[in-house]
Amino acid sequence: MEELSISRPYLLQADDLTANDIQSIFSRAQFFIDNYKPGVKFDDLKGLTVALTFFENSTRTKLSFELASKRLSADSISFQSSSSSQKKGESLIDTLRTIEAMGVDMYIVRHVCSGVPGFLQANTCGAVINAGDGKHEHPTQALLDTFTLQKHFGDLKGVKVCIIGDILHSRVARSNITVLRTLGAEVKVCAPGTLFPRRLNYWNVEIIEHIDDAIEWADVALVLRLQRERMESGLLPSIREYSNYYGVNFEHFAKKPELVLLHPGPVNYGIELDYNINQYPNVKIQTQVTHGVFIRMALLSLIAKQLKVKRAKVA
Amino acid sequence: MNICFKGIRAVNPAQNLDETVNLWIKDGAIAHCDSSAPKLDPGTEQIDGKDLVAAPGFFDMHVHFRTPGEENEEDINTGCASAANGGFTGVVCMPNTTPCVDSVAVVELIENKAKGKLVDVKVAGAITKNREGKQISEMFELNDAGVPFFTDDGSCVMCTETLKRAFDYALTRDLLIAQHCEDHTLTEGFSVNESIFATKLGLKGYPSIAESNIVFRDIETAKYIGNCRYHVMHISTARSVELVREAKKNGARVTAEVAPHHFTLDDSIIASYDTNIKMNPPLRDKSDIEALKLGLKDGTIDAIASDHAPHALHEKDVEFELAPCGIVGLETALPLAMTELVHTGVLSIGQLVEKMAVNPRRICGLNVPEIKLGELANLTVFAPNEEWHISTKHFKSKSKNSPFNNFVVKGKQKYVFNNNQVINCVL
């Protein structure tokens, strides 16, 4: 088997990943899928300490990373704080220094503020992995999404993906647009103006105004979770109207049963998706979760390797 | 004090002066100022003025010295040291202190601390009590105590009824209302300019209309009340510049100032999430910078003011979205203005002196110092063509929150003279 590696000893945003990096991660993930058996542990992270530092509530991402690091034989510690540390009078940078002083090598970071992983990476000699920062990025979600798609299509070149929903506030959308494009997929979006102001289209991505047209065009619908607070903050007139005009429903599947559907979860059934849509063969929501663990194992494994290279150079 | 600059270029547009002279400053006054050879006292320090310019002392009408209340960020001693090191002989402190400047007691507290300094310290008064935007402050008494103008800087007077009353009241004595133009309903939770870069980084934006809509409202209101004097602080958008230009053309008594960072940096650099590029108003886009430069060139923008806003290191070393707004600016104002405006042909040196020494004083109703025999020496001497690296470690300010560390600039302040004192600028 060829030696796999990635360019950087950290992952802050999707731009950090080249197409080769992504394929290396995918290959390693496939290796873990092929070789994982209950009770088996890999030693990729043996001797390394991983800190799960979650400054924002998370269930699935945290569990996924925790399991991934355990299956790779890491020592792991975990920290979750729903309120920011600043409210308790401790600065984030101090929290980092405290954890670092305990001898931590890798940090899985989730935070409500955009840009925090980069801020921490600049202040540590360990490796930071972004597990979701504010409205900025969630690169491992994009990796597991695109891995799921690559396994389905074989190759993402020319595959048409429409991202539907709250683009403006979505870190999942940001990371996915970049990774999908890096792998050669064609990306369009479907969202009302308040959830994707047209003048703020950084990616110059084409916008499909009508959900029916979006589904007709797309091979893949990547449906985003609608946060109830968007309605409460006045960005939407009502959940009802959003659901009627941007929800993916049985009628869409009736016309296009082969549609591949991704959702980062947790799903608001009845809002962005009809309930029981799982009966369609290409609804991949559970597959995404399963792949999530293997993708994170692959990423941790390759970053640990880079970290060792970096440390050998410093030494 | 006994210094003579031989063959220095003396520039002061307020007295139509731009000529090479031998300039002798003795005991705080100008003892010689023409091309003839002065009969110097023995022991006079002589400095070759070949590469230097002497101008009336620069005046920054927009600084935050954080006193009273946040002296961990700056105090009057370090603020004045920073101003002098930046080539300024006078400043106006903003009223957003704790307590704020809505009473004569606070004005006197600040001015007492500044007694005996080289730098003349004036204090702006709040438009409204406690800067709450509700009840207008005691403007007459504050004005009698020497307050040159009124502003709620840091906040905008959002209630148009309150603003209307402030103009009505101020017009009684023809007082100047200066506005921090920000429609707060559009900017809640902002971190940066609203632009595609904000989208990429997942940060809440501050749209340009949040500034220009207020500029429009205020100009209309000032006109309606009776052509009141009105000043736009830290102007940052192309549309605001257009509105001020149009108002001036129509005879409105409107003035405007711009901060050096707004004509130097655009918002594409926010990708670094460097908290030292977080300020209010935020860095705008390249077209705004062009409009600001044009506004400076054609006189729409009257003054350059630093908006010197010190923050302690630990306050800025936090999550970008939680970091306070503002950067220190006194010690980089002249070099940035020289580099971005004079060496690029936007302004002549004479125009630069107008924006940094003459106009800010006129807006504040203060006399402009003259460079001539017998006058008290209130001077800034700078080297227009000296290239150097900015290093924040040389800053005299208590805070070092500047995005310009390691910037290469051309033009450097050298000496300031005022109140019978001289300081050698060290950077």
C-alpha closest to that of B92 among B307, B260, B279, B296: B307
**Active-site pick, B102, B152, B307, B317:** B307
Q: What is the pLDDT of residue A242?
A: 96
C-alpha closest to that of B101 among B72, B71, B78, B69: B69
The answer for B154, left when phi > 0, alpha when psi is -120 to 50, beta otherwise, is: left
Q: Take residue B93 and report the two structure tokens written for it.
A: 């402190």
- Report the residue of chain B nearest A175, measured CA to CA: B200
Instruction: State whether B50 and B98 are in the same domain.
Output: no
What's the pLDDT tens digit per position in B374-427? Answer: 999 999 999 999 999 999 999 999 999 999 999 999 999 999 999 999 999 999
B 204-223: CB under 8 A from A: 205
What's the pLDDT tens digit per position in B358-373? Answer: 999 999 999 999 999 9
The answer for B365, left when phi > 0, alpha when psi is -120 to 50, beta otherwise, is: left
Going from the C-alpha of B199 to that of each of A28, A174, B205, B265, B284, the distances in angstroms are: 32, 9, 8, 19, 14
Whether A202 and B199 lie within 8 Å, measured CB to CB: yes
Give CA–CA dist A299/A303, Å, rounded.
Answer: 6
Distance from CA of B321 to the nearest CA of A (A): 6
Whether A201 and B314 lie within 8 Å, measured CB to CB: no
What's the pLDDT tens digit per position in B294-329? Answer: 999 999 999 999 999 999 999 999 999 999 999 999
Q: What is the mean pLDDT of each run of 10 residues along chain A (315 residues)?
A: 86 98 98 94 96 93 97 94 66 92 96 96 96 97 98 98 97 98 98 96 97 98 91 90 96 96 94 90 96 98 94 86
Distance from CA of B288 to the nearest CA of A (A): 16
The last residue of one of the domains, among B363, B396, B413, is: B363
Whether B202 and A171 lie within 8 Å, measured CB to CB: yes
DSSP label of B427: -
Q: What is the pLDDT of residue A82?
A: 66
- Count of CB atoms within 10 A of residue B162's CB? 18
Q: Take residue A255 and report the two structure tokens written for it.
A: 């016309």
Using a CB–CB cutoff of 8 Å, tell me whether A93 touches chain B: yes
What's the pLDDT tens digit per position in B14-34? Answer: 999 999 999 999 999 999 999
What's the domain range around B148? 58-363
Give the rounded distance of the alpha carbon of A137 from its chain centre. 8
Q: pLDDT band for position B178 (50/70/90)?
A: very high
Q: Residue B258 sits in a domain of what CATH number?
A: 3.20.20.140
The last residue of one of the domains, among B337, B363, B389, is: B363
- Calculate mean pLDDT across residues B77-101: 98
Using a CB–CB cutoff of 8 Å, tell me whether A18 touches chain B: no
Q: pLDDT band for position B168 (50/70/90)?
A: very high
Instruction: State whether B221 and B74 are in the same domain.
Output: yes
Q: pLDDT band for position B186 (50/70/90)?
A: very high
Using a CB–CB cutoff of 8 Å, tell me whether B277 touches chain A: no
- Is B264 a member of any domain? yes
Instruction: State whether B62 and B13 are in the same domain.
Output: no
Instruction: State whether B357 and B378 are in the same domain.
Output: no
Averaged pLDDT score across all residues of chain B = 97
Using a CB–CB cutoff of 8 Å, tell me whether B407 touches chain A: no
Q: What is the pLDDT of residue A87?
A: 63
**Neighboring chain B residues of A91 at a CB cutoff of 8 Å:** 314, 317-318
Instruction: State whether B385 and B260 are in the same domain.
Output: no
**pTM for this predicted structure:** 0.94
Q: What is the pLDDT of residue A298?
A: 98
- Report the residue of chain B nearest A172, measured CA to CA: B202
- Is B262 a member of any domain? yes
- Provide DSSP, chain A: -PPP--S-S-BSSGGG--HHHHHHHHHHHHHHHHH--TT----TTTT-EEEEEESS--SHHHHHHHHHHHHTT-EEEEEE-SS-GGGGT--HHHHHHHHHHTT--EEEEEESSTTHHHHHHTT-SSEEEEEEETTTB-HHHHHHHHHHHHHHHS--TT-EEEEES--TT-HHHHHHHHHHHHTT-EEEEE--TTTS-GGG-TT--EE---HHHHHHH-SEEEEPPPPHHHHHTTSSS-HHHHHHHH-B-HHHHHH-TT-EEE--S---BTTTB-TTGGGSTTB-HHHHHHHHHHHHHHHHHHHHHHHHHHHHHH-
Using a CB–CB cutoff of 8 Å, tell me whether A113 touches chain B: yes
3-state percent breakdown (helix, strand, coil) of chain B, nearest 5: 35, 25, 45
* Number of cross-chain residue pairs from A and B with Cβ atoms under 8 Å apart: 64
The CATH number for A139-288, chosen from 3.40.50.1370, 3.40.50.300, 3.30.365.10, 3.30.1360.120, is: 3.40.50.1370
Instruction: State whether B295 and B329 are in the same domain.
Output: yes
What ipTM does this complex have?
0.91
Instruction: State whether B293 and B420 are in the same domain.
Output: no
- Calculate mean pLDDT across residues B219-238: 98
Beta carbons within 8 Å of B341's beta carbon, 6+ residues apart: B263, B293, B296, B347, B352
Q: Side chain identity at B173, as an amino acid letter? A: R
Using a CB–CB cutoff of 8 Å, tell me whether B364 touches chain A: no
Find the distance separating the first CA and the last CA of chain B, reported in whole Å: 22
- Is B368 a member of any domain? no
Q: What is the pLDDT of residue A90?
A: 84
Using a CB–CB cutoff of 8 Å, tell me whether B319 touches chain A: yes
Indicate the residue of A86, A135, A137 with minimum beta-carbon distance to B322.
A86
Q: What is the pLDDT of residue B1?
A: 85
Residue with tokens 């034989």: A73
Distance from CA of B194 to the nearest CA of A (A): 8
Instruction: State whether B256 and B381 are in the same domain.
Output: no
**Neighboring chain A residues of B191 at a CB cutoff of 8 Å:** 114
Q: Per the structure, how many domains does chain B have? A: 2
Whether B202 and A134 lie within 8 Å, measured CB to CB: yes
Instruction: State whether B220 and B326 are in the same domain.
Output: yes
- Is B50 a member of any domain? yes
Every domain range in chain A assigned CATH 3.40.50.1370: 14-137+289-314, 139-288
A 178-217: CB under 8 A from B: 200-202
The last residue of one of the domains, among B317, B340, B363, is: B363
What's the pLDDT tens digit per position in B38-49? Answer: 999 999 999 999
- Calculate mean pLDDT across residues B228-248: 98
User: Is B307 among the catalytic positions?
Assistant: yes
Instruction: State whether B337 and B391 are in the same domain.
Output: no
Instruction: State whether B381 and B238 are in the same domain.
Output: no
Give CA–CA dist A127/B396, Å, rounded.
Answer: 37
Instruction: State whether B174 and B200 are in the same domain.
Output: yes
Domain covering A14-137+289-314, topology: Rossmann fold (3.40.50)
